[in-house]
Amino acid sequence: MQTESPTVRDLLVAKFEALLAECDLIATNEHTLDTMEALLLDKGRKLLQETFEVKLQERVEQVETAAEAKQCPHCKKKTTYKDKKTKKITSVHGHVSLARHYRYCPHCKTYSFSVDVTLGLTTRYTAALTRLATRCCGLWSYQLAADNLAELAGIRLSDTTLGTIAQETAAKIAVKMDDNPAFKTAFQKAQGKSEFYVDGTFVPILNLDGTREWREMKVAAFVKRLLGESALPAEWATRQLPKPSVVYAFASISSKEEFQALCQKERRRLGVGGVSSALGDGAKWIWNLIREVFGKTEECLDIFHALEHISDCGKALYGEGESFVSWLDKMRLVLLTEGFAGVEREWTLLLSEELKPAEKESVGALLGYLRGHAERWRYAERLASGRVIGSGLIEGACKNLVGRRLKQTGACWRLERANRMALVCSLLYADQWKLAWKNSH
């Protein structure tokens, strides 16, 4: 009597039961936890890969028996079978190999794998693998991403391959984001006042002619944040502000005019008419950009940037001893309490003292700088209303969004590739990655 051949399901069930049996044997081992974990990481991952491959191949064979699979994808007329060829696809479960029918259309004289279109097998990498690979590349160098992908998921790809996947994916996300209302909806639903931050940091670039240079990557962010509790100037460093309810960041190596146009584009994408305040350091291009994009709005010079200039001048006058520390504490309180008016008064008094020519020049230069930001020093008012007075959020973006990924030792980027990677880093930094992926795939 002839017995029936085991089905695909029977074979997979048998492998799973064998794996369970191995787990049962380990149960008598004094190192059960670690041994069983290692077994399931190794053989369990392998079983998932085999299951995925076998079931997908089974589906391929089912589809290829249908009449539609024998039609030309171009002219929809009947094709003839020529051969069976193998295709390799990389998934989050590992590398899989599929055999499909290779067919010829005598009408339009083309060859095709009809099942590829039907089952979405035209790609070399699955969507889940692409997502994981791109995320890894946004967090680590290509080489470290390859190492971590192999260590954490058992997927082995070269750093060059990972870089290609990440770059292609970033380009696709950028296109899909253009007309997608999801970001506007998320931003509009978030609670709080709208803020705008902008700054820049330099990135190593490899030009087309082979020369290398450092070029400024401009970074900006639209933020919504609830107001905090009212605080006194003496409490500025210890008060706890609410965390942003939403952050939308973006970055680009581009001219001032191009970046200004990008800010306008992102403002419209999010449905932002104006912002309650705009924050940045003392760079002139920042304030010019803010005025061009938003018109008249409340501008705030980063408190740490202001104090840095005052501190540098104080060191030139007093050195770095106790006199300097005492003077700086006083100036910090004047700045936070009275703003520019108080600082101007103190600086004018300094100029009336007997100073060396170099010291007078230093004080005069700083006073000129401070006057240029006179309307951006309303710290006491902002503290009382529970608003932010520092641009640490955007400086953190420059450090963590750009610097950590794009300024690594030995790195040198082609311009287009740097801007694409900046998109991935921006989405990860602002916690917009899931939203971007969901609405672009």
Domain co-membership, 266 together with 194: yes
Domain co-membership, 312 together with 426: no
10-residue mean pLDDT profile of the chain (441 residues): values are: 67 90 81 87 92 93 85 88 93 94 91 88 93 96 96 93 96 89 95 96 95 96 96 93 96 96 96 94 93 95 92 87 91 93 86 79 83 91 96 88 88 95 95 91 76
Q: What is the pTM of this model?
A: 0.89
Domain co-membership, 354 together with 389: no
Domain co-membership, 320 together with 428: no
Domain co-membership, 371 together with 383: no
Predicted pLDDT at 3: 53
Predicted pLDDT at 295: 93
Domain co-membership, 248 together with 382: yes
pLDDT per position as a tens digit, 28-55: 777 788 888 899 989 999 999 999 999 9
Domain co-membership, 170 together with 186: no
Considering the domain boundaries, does residue 79 fall inside one? Answer: yes
Considering the domain boundaries, does residue 1 fall inside one? Answer: no
Q: Can you give the chain as a three-state secondary structure string?
A: CCCCCCCHHHHHHHHHHHHHHHHHHHCCCCCHHHHHHHHHHHHHHHHHHHHHHHHHHHHHHHHHCCHHHHECCCCCCECEEEEEEEEEEEECCEEEEEEEEEEEECCCCEEECHHHHHHCCCCCECHHHHHHHHHHHHHCCHHHHHHHHHHHHCCCCCHHHHHHHHHHHHHHHHHHHCCCCHHHHHHHHCCCEEEEEEEEEEEEEECCCCCEEEEEEEEEEEEEECCCCCCCHHHCCCCCCCCCCEEEEEEECCCHHHHHHHHHHHHHHHCCCCCCEEEECCCHHHHHHHHHHHCCCCEEECHHHHHHHHHHHHHHHHCCCHHHHHHHHHHHHHHHHHCHHHHHHHHHHHHHCCCCHHHHHHHHHHHHHHHCCHHHCCHHHHHHCCCCCCCHHHHHHHHHHHHHHHCCCCCCECHHHHHHHHHHHHHHHCCCHHHHHHCCC
Range of the domain at 17: 8-124
Domain co-membership, 85 together with 165: no
Domain co-membership, 73 together with 27: yes
